[in-house]
A and B are shown apart, each in its own frame.
Chain A
Amino acid sequence: MAGKISSTDVHKIQRHNVDDMISDLPEGVLLHILSLLPTEDVVRTSVLATKWRHLWTYLSVFDFKIPYPLYNKSKDQNQNSVNCLLDLVGRLLRKSNCVERLSIDIFVIGVDGDKVSSLISSASKHKLQYLKLSLGVPIPNDKFALPHCFSAFESLNELCLGLRFTLCIPSDICFPSLKKLVVSDVEFANEESVQQLFSGCPVLQELTLYNCYWENIEQINIAISTLRKLTIYFDPCCVDDEDDEMTVMIDAVNLLSLSCTCHAAIRFIPVNLTSIVDAHVHLEDYSQLVPVLYVAHCIFELLSGLNNVKSLDITNDTLECLIDRTEVDLNLLPTFHNLTHLCVYNFTDESTATSGVLPDILRKTPKLEVLYIPTVVREYLVGEDSLLNSLPCCLKSSLKRLCILYFSGDEDEIEFVRLFLKNAPFLGEIQLFCVRSLLANVEKVADIQDQLQSVRPGACVIKFLNGSAQRQYNLLAKFR
Chain B
Amino acid sequence: MASSSSNLISLKTSDGTVFKVERALAKTMKTVQAIIEEADANIYMIPIHNVFSHHMDMIIDYYKLSVAGKSKEFSVEKLDNDELKDFLLAVHYLNMEDLFEVLTQAVADRLEKKSVGYVRKYFGIENDFTPEEYAAIRKKNDWAFKGDDIEPEEDEEKQEE
Contacts and interface: CB of A to CB of B under 8 A. Distances in A.
A64 B144 CA distance: 9
B108 A37 contact: yes
Listed residue (B88, B133, B144) with the most chain A CB atoms within 10 angstroms of its CB: B144
Contacts of B112: 37-38, 41
Interface stretch (B26-34, B41-49, B61-69, B123-131): B123-131
Interface string A13-53: 00100011110111001001100111111111111111011
By size class, the interface of chain A is 35 or more
B124 A21 contact: yes
Given A10-B15, A20-B126, A47 B116 contact: yes
Given A20-B126, A25-B92, A70-B147, 7 more contacts: A11-B86, A25-B88, A36-B104, A49-B127, A50-B128, A84-B140, A84-B143
Contacts of B86: 11, 24
Contact of A53 (B54, B137, B143): B137
B128 A7 contact: no
Contacts of A91: 140
Nearest to B115: A44
Contact of A48 (B107, B125, B142): B125
Nearest to A40: B144
A230 B26 CA distance: 50
Secondary structure at chain B's binding surface: helix, strand, loop or mixed? helix
B147 A49 contact: no
A87 B92 CA distance: 37
A306 B65 CA distance: 50
A10 B112 CA distance: 30
B76 to A, nearest CB: 14
B54 A20 contact: no
Contacts of B88: 25, 29
Listed residue (A45, A87, A88) with the most chain B CB atoms within 10 angstroms of its CB: A45
A37 B111 contact: yes
Interface string B117-155: 001100111111100011001101111110100000001
A383 B88 CA distance: 74
A325 interface: no
A55 B79 CA distance: 27
Contact of A15 (B15, B82, B119, B123): B82
A48 B124 CA distance: 10
A78 to B, nearest CB: 9
A30 to B, nearest CB: 8
10 contacts: A21-B125, A25-B85, A26-B92, A37-B108, A38-B112, A48-B125, A49-B127, A81-B143, A84-B142, A84-B143
A417 interface: no
B108 A29 contact: no
B89 A25 contact: yes
Interface in B48-65: 52-54
Contact of B127 (A37, A43, A48, A64): A48
A328 interface: no
A104 to B, nearest CB: 11
B140 A88 contact: yes
Interface string A85-112: 1011001000000000000000000000
B83 A64 contact: no
Contacts of B123: 21-22, 25, 48
A8 interface: yes
Interface of B: 15, 52-54, 82-83, 85-86, 88-89, 92, 104-105, 107-108, 111-114, 116, 119-120, 123-129, 133-134, 137-138, 140-145, 147, 155
Contacts of A478: none
A145 to B, nearest CB: 27
Contacts of B143: 40, 43, 64, 66, 81, 84-85, 88
B119 to A, nearest CB: 6
B137 A46 contact: yes
Interface in A288-310: none
Interface in A179-214: none
A20 to B, nearest CB: 6
Contacts of B107: 33
Contacts of B82: 12, 15
B141 A48 contact: no
A24 B85 contact: yes
A41 B113 contact: yes
Contacts of B119: 44-45, 48
Listed residue (A21, A43, A85, A88) with the most chain B CB atoms within 10 angstroms of its CB: A21
Contact of A49 (B85, B89, B128, B144): B128
Contacts of B126: 20, 49
Given A8-B83, A47-B116, A88 B141 contact: yes
A19 B129 CA distance: 17
Contacts of B133: 50
A295 B34 CA distance: 72
Contacts of A4: none
